[in-house]
A and B are shown apart, each in its own frame.
Chain A
Amino acid sequence: MSSDPTAPISTTPAVGEPLIQLEGTSKTYRSGELQVTALQPTTLRVDAGEFLAIMGPSGSGKSTLMNVLGCLDVASSGTYRLAGSDVGSLSEEELAEIRNRRIGFVFQQFNLLASMPAWRNVELPLCYAGVSRTERRERALAALERVGLADRSDHRPGELSGGQQQRVAVARALVTEPALLLADEPTGNLDSTSTADVLGLLAELHDAGRTIVLITHEDDVAAAADRIVRLHDGTVVSDRSNAPRAGLHRAGKVPS
């Protein structure tokens, strides 16, 4: 890592500026002769501290939007400002640094490395941030404690239940103190109990002030958020606020 690892990482945008600001952002893929527009020009603003769900059927462009928001992919047109900085013009190295410091990912497949114990999975982003070994371990253990898995830190992913694995993944996403938590179908591979468990954890993190963007195609899961954006054919078709607490409690009772 070229940058100074001890430099304070900005987790919040300047006062009055949104955390996420999409302005006419679109994404077009070239598939052989065909130009496929996965995301029509979209304008979206997410403030710090929001819990946003992005919904839509498969092919609606929600995954593309998630990739753009997560700096895993670069928009074809328009601008994307994350915490005040324009990420459209950044190099691959700079995007890697943004992903490392400002975004925490939670994936449907958990994506834990099977050969490493939980705490080493959690410390992984800190390795790339150049944090010292002792501090890494401390912070990884603290993050695991935050998700209620302090006693499982030495277990390998294979020795943990699906819900526990996803909580390890949440701990990994939190460990860098990112500005944004991006969860891509985080409950897609979980049973209803674990789903409630993980959604409860996200709600708690939101209550503690984190900005969360949750991508899902399930109404019950989206109900945990306090704002729901619906996509269809690459276009935002609705953007409304939601009563958050009701959704959370329902999610635990309805099988997904």
Chain B
Amino acid sequence: MNWWETVRTGYDAVRAHRLRSALTMLGILIGIAAVMLTVGLGLGAQATIGAQINSLGSNLLVVTPGSTTTNGVRGGQGSAATLTMADATALTDEQVAPDVAGVAPTVQRPGSLAVAGTNWTTSVVGTTEDWSQVRARTVTNGRFLSADDVSGKAAVVVLGSTTAAELFGEENAVGRTVTVSGVPMTVVGILDPGGSSPLGDQDDQAVVPISVAAERIFGGTARGTVQTIFVQAESTEALSAAHQEVSSLLLAMHRITDPTAPDFTITTQQSILDIANSITGALTAVLSGIAGISLLVGGIGVMNIMLVSVTERIREIGLRKALGATPKVIRRQFLVEAAVLGLAGGIAGVVVGVAGSAALSNAIGQPIVVSPSATLMALAVSIGIGLLFGVYPASRAARLAPIDALRSE
């Protein structure tokens, strides 16, 4: 009996007990669908977070100040005011930092924006003209800050799309005047929507020249110090060279001789991505582990039904043996039958998983990624489960003595 005939015999046997086979397959179906959904959800979340992190800009290095120590108590990261405009300016030097393509020092504080009759509290970002390039943001309407705005301390502001809508509704905001923390400023542009990011809502902010922010809006420590310096490397390959250049330049500027104790931190997009991935990865693993348990239960269902099948067909096994079936052939027949059960459940599970992914993704507004390789894997696993849990029933069938099997009633 060749493989194809064995598979056909297995298929016939599965079909002969439709309800029973269907219920058994249900176990596998739920397991496979659950694993596909959780893995898809995890991959979807990973893709979303990855996209958000990438939307911060490309080939980005984020330089933040180190922590302060006051009376022996270490403050949080970024609590020190060690980064200055001079640092940022030095980083733009082609000679010292040839792999740096753009530098955007920023100061950022909450501020109150007002137009006639409307107030809106948002994040006010003081920065330079490089910001739009470094952070990969474009302007829908109007223009971004210019170098002249920064050096000339022009009272101009670029609004996020949400901020503009809150203040001006449907009206065109460009050219209008808005009071930023009491300072009247002219709106020169509206940013393209950028979605949310780990750094906050990118569509709700007011971007002003850093010089204006430091001297007229924030005052105090904002004069001369910056909170964050966004540095863009020339390319992905230049990222680590740029990292090195920024690090040694800042160490020199701050007169720090011990490179293991800098007063600043450089974070790369990759390191943010790695952290995010390790979190979503762990979550996915836990969830699919739980889903995998249902697959295991489904497998035990297959074993159960195969044992029933062997007991029920004991005469058939005896007859087949009398007609010349070797133990090997009988074992193979029952193994294939279990595999057919598993595969049929797996195919149904994949169908439900794909349909469920689409439905769930719509319902919760989160992307669910169903990859072809995961689907093939699910099918392989379902056959494997059938085979694994079919081994015991099949070898029991193969071991039956033909006379005992024939004589049983």
Contacts and interface: CB of A to CB of B under 8 A. Distances in A.
A105 B319 CA distance: 9
A107 interface: yes
B403 A105 contact: no
Nearest to A97: B324
Interface stretch (A65-73, A157-165, A233-241): A65-73
Nearest to B2: A130
Contact of A93 (B1, B13, B315, B326): B326
A92 B403 contact: no
Interface stretch (A120-128, A199-207, A245-253): A120-128
B319 A128 contact: no
B323 A105 contact: yes
B316 A100 contact: no
A129 interface: yes
Q: How many B residues are at the interface, by size bracket?
A: 20 to 34
Contacts of A1: 1, 326
B254 interface: no
Interface in A161-216: 172, 176
A70 B324 contact: no
Contacts of B325: 96, 128
B322 A105 contact: yes
Contact of A111 (B12, B401, B406): B406
A124 B326 contact: no
B328 A115 contact: no
Nearest to B322: A105
A99 B319 CA distance: 11
A113 interface: yes
A93 B322 CA distance: 12
Contacts of A124: 320, 323
A111 B328 contact: no
Contact of B323 (A92, A93, A128, A130): A128
Contacts of B328: 93
Q: Output the residue of B315, B328, B406 with the most chain A CB within 10 A.
A: B406
Contacts of A127: 1, 5
A100 B315 CA distance: 17
A115 B324 contact: no
Interface string B4-32: 01000000110010000000000000000
Contact of A172 (B12, B323, B402): B323
Interface in B322-370: 322-329
B329 A128 contact: yes
A227 interface: no
A127 B330 CA distance: 13
Contacts of B135: none
A99 B322 contact: yes
A101 interface: yes
A111 B315 contact: yes
Which A-B residue pairs are the 9 nearest by beta carbons?
Answer: A100-B324, A128-B324, A96-B326, A125-B323, A111-B319, A127-B1, A72-B402, A93-B326, A72-B403
18 contacts: A72-B402, A73-B402, A93-B327, A93-B328, A97-B326, A101-B324, A107-B406, A111-B319, A113-B316, A113-B319, A115-B12, A115-B16, A116-B12, A125-B324, A127-B1, A128-B323, A128-B326, A129-B324
Interface of A: 1, 67, 70, 72-73, 92-93, 96-97, 99-101, 105, 107, 109, 111, 113, 115-116, 124-125, 127-130, 172, 176
